[in-house]
Amino acid sequence: MLAGGCAGPELNEVSDYGYKALVKIGNEFMANLTLRAFKESKLRGSLYLLAAPEVKNLIKPDYYDYYIPEGADIIDNVSKALSHDKIDKNKKIMITSCDIPLINHQSIDNFIGYSQNANYDAIYPIVEKFVYDAKFAGTRRSWYYCKDGTYTGGNFICIKPDIFFKNKDIFMDIFENRKNPLKIAALFGVKLLLKYKMGLASKKDALDAVYNIIKTPCAAFESKFAEIVFDIDKMSDYTKCVEYSKTT
C-alpha cells in the first residue's frame, strides 16, 4: 500500500502533519481505514506499508506485515516495494493507494479472486459510470468514453514485478497523465487516439494497444464495487466521504 505524499492545500486542514494518509475521517486516519479493509480480506497475502516514518508511527501495527520507508516519488516507491526481499518476484503483486477509505474486503476479494485465477500478468480494475453514479452521484471523476461503455479506473493494479521494471517509463507517463483520457490514448498510439476521439474505441482496442507496448497479457476487470474508484483528492471528495460514512 502506497501511503506517501502530502495532503495538499485543500485537505491540509483535515490532515495530521500534512500527510494525505493521515487525513482524519471521523476519529480514524484514512490509511487505517483502507488498511483495515485489506486486513479483513480473506484472499490477500502479506501486507506491505510504504510511508514516511511519521505516518508509520500513527498506523496500527497489526494492520500490516512489513514496512518500507517512503521514496522520492510514486515510481520510486513502487520500485522499492517490488524490490523488497520478502516479495515473490514470480507472483502477481497488488499495488494500491491509501486514499480509498470506503473500500471493503468484499471488493478487494472480488478483484484478488479474479486476478489469482486469470491468465494475465497485468490486471487493472474499471467501473462503469452507472455503477459509480448509483452510489456516488455528484462527485467528479475522469471518464473514458468507449463504444461499449463509459468507464473510470480503480485505485489499484495487479502486476508481476518484472513487467513493471521493464516498463517503468511507460508507467510513469500513464501515472502523470491518468486524469487526461486523450493523452492516455495518445500514449498508446495514433490509431487508438483517433478511434477514441471519434467515439469508436472499445475496451479491447485499449487492451490491444497496451499489449503492443508492454508485450504481456493484460486485462481490464470490470468491478461492480464503486468504492474501489472513490478516492479523496479534494475537499468535495472528503465531504462526500464523511457524509457517506455517517449513513453506513
pLDDT of residue 60: 94
Q: Please give the model's pTM, rounded to 2 decimal places.
A: 0.90
| Cβ neighbourhood burial of 206 (10 Å; 0-12, 13-18, 19+) | buried
| CB within 8 Å of 117: residues ≥ 6 apart | none
The pLDDT assigned to 102 comes to 96
Strand 122-128 vs strand 149-153: parallel, antiparallel, or unpaired? antiparallel
**The pLDDT of residue 25:** 94
Name all domains of the chain by residue range, CATH numbers in brackets. 8-247 (3.90.550.10)
Report pLDDT for 187: 82
**pLDDT given for residue 196 in this prediction:** 84
Task: State the 10-residue block means of pLDDT for the chain, 248 residues long.
Answer: 92 94 95 97 96 95 96 89 92 95 97 95 95 90 92 93 91 77 81 86 90 90 96 93 84
Q: Supply the pLDDT for residue 147.
A: 93
